[in-house]
Structure 1
Amino acid sequence: MSEIKIIETSDGSQSLYHEGLNETYHSTHGAITESQHVFIKHGLEFLLNSSKESINILEVGFGTGLNALLALGFANNNQRVHLNYTTLEPYPLDENLIQKLKYHEQLSDQVSKEDFFRFHQCSWGVCHELQPNFKFTKHQTTLQEFETNHQYDLIFYDAFAPSKQAEMWELSLLEKLKSHFGKETVLVTYCARGQFKRDLASIQMKVETLAGPPGKKEMVRGVYRG
């Protein structure tokens, strides 16, 4: 059985190393730094600047819960915005591993230890109001098997890299994802692979190649206006 180990990244925050995939859950150059740059700065802040007051988020790859925790911190610092956060995770982490993660310590000005563990303790498939302006739902399923009538304004695409999990980056899956787009939907991801960008363009997204987080030259944001 493959082992998952906690590692420390360059900004002092933790990530996980998946032995079976020979892959980390976040950038070794800084887990919090990467997630903040890709998903919050170029996702949530980008949408907030467009004057949206309610944002429906779909995250592909809940993992450690770091992105969700940063989104909650964002909501705490921007009380006028309401976030409805839905996340997918087919392989939840072991509780003993979760108890050793300490993201809340570096984000103590935004969130608490209780906030972090609440994400992992919430029951699956149920909408939880964690704050007056933050609702959270997690589904133990793959994107391939996910079914919903909801539409989303923002996609956090945080699957393992194409070299490790090629099926998550195929055009057919992006076409399925498009069925959950609203009239205007933004997708952000750390991946800047050429084929992925071409596939985003083929589903009518305007593709922006942006400066990446430390250790990575580029990232991608796709903008769809139907």
Structure 2
Amino acid sequence: MKREIIQTSDGSSTIYIKDLDEHYHSKHGAIQEAYHVFLKSGFFPFLKNNKIEELSILEIGFGTGLNAFITFIEAENLEVKVKYDGVEAYPVSMEEVKLLNYVEELKVLDKQSIFLKMHESEWETYQFISENFQLKKRKQFFDEIENINTFNLIYFDAFGARVQPELWEVSIFQKMYNALKANGVLVTYAAKGSVRRAMQEVGFEVERLPGPPGKREMLRAVKKG
């Protein structure tokens, strides 16, 4: 399927798939959405509420690498160790990566080499992006995930249920629940009632939170210990 780079409302770029009429990030602002959903609602609160030596994160939909990149930036600022797994069945090409303007929009020109390193690093094995940040990119479908009690935090950033409803069903959220450690947290931009109920069915405690620009609500789910 043909993909094109477009600019979102906050000036940052995303990838648009015309055949599906679907964006990798919110057209209302890719960086704004990523920070709001995954950092402000997941990463920062988890670190505030839990004292751990190393934070393990699973991202469902590595895509452009934006979520991993901003997590890297903030982890470095806080001097937090992170082990990050990014699952992606259809990797973005380096040609596309070089057209993304995140380094410029985030005003971190000194991190350009880091952003490229994330995309150029070897798949299926942990790579040190920095001394405190390890990244493993996993080329697999989401229903192939079999981790048990592995992660503190899940960024659930799959394509929307309108396009891929099978990614938002009970069977997938059961895998997410299994993959989390006790008191682990899953955050997602989605807020549909059917998604919330699927999460609850597998044991998550789910709360609605204010959504990013252009979206009224989002969901945060906790695997109670």
TM-score by length of 1: 0.95
Q: What does 1:93-172 correspond to in 2, within 5 Å?
A: 93-109=92-108, 112-148=111-147, 151-172=150-171
Structure 2 partner of 1:64: 64
Shift of 1:208: 0.9
Q: Give, in whole Å, the separation in 2 of the partners of 1:139 and 1:150.
A: 18
Residue 34 in structure 1 maps to residue 33 in structure 2: yes
Identity value in percent: 39
- What's the CA shift string for 1:24-59, capped at 9, x where partnerless? 111111000000000000000010111333211000
Q: Give, in whole Å, the separation in 2 of the partners of 1:111 and 1:44.
A: 23
Shift of 1:175: 1.1
Q: Give, in whole Å, the separation in 2 of the partners of 1:61 and 1:192.
A: 18
The DSSP-based 3-state class of the residue aligned with 2:167 is helix
Specify which structure has the higher proportion of helix: 2
Unaligned runs of 5+ in 1: none
Structure 2 partner of 1:51: 50
Q: Give, in whole Å, the separation in 2 of the partners of 1:148 and 1:196.
A: 21
Shift of 1:5: 0.6
Contact 1:82–1:134 (CA under 8 A) maintained in structure 2: yes
Shift of 1:147: 3.4
TM-score by length of 2: 0.95
Residue 190 in structure 1 maps to residue 165 in structure 2: no
Unaligned runs of 5+ in 2: none
Q: Once superposed, what is the RMSD of the aligned Cα atoms? A: 1.4
Q: Give, in whole Å, the separation in 2 of the partners of 1:176 and 1:72.
A: 25
- What's the CA shift string for 1:189-217, capped at 9, x where partnerless? 00001011011112221111000001100
Q: Give, in whole Å, the separation in 2 of the partners of 1:105 and 1:75.
A: 19
Change (3 A) 1:29 1:43: same
Change (3 A) 1:197 1:14: same
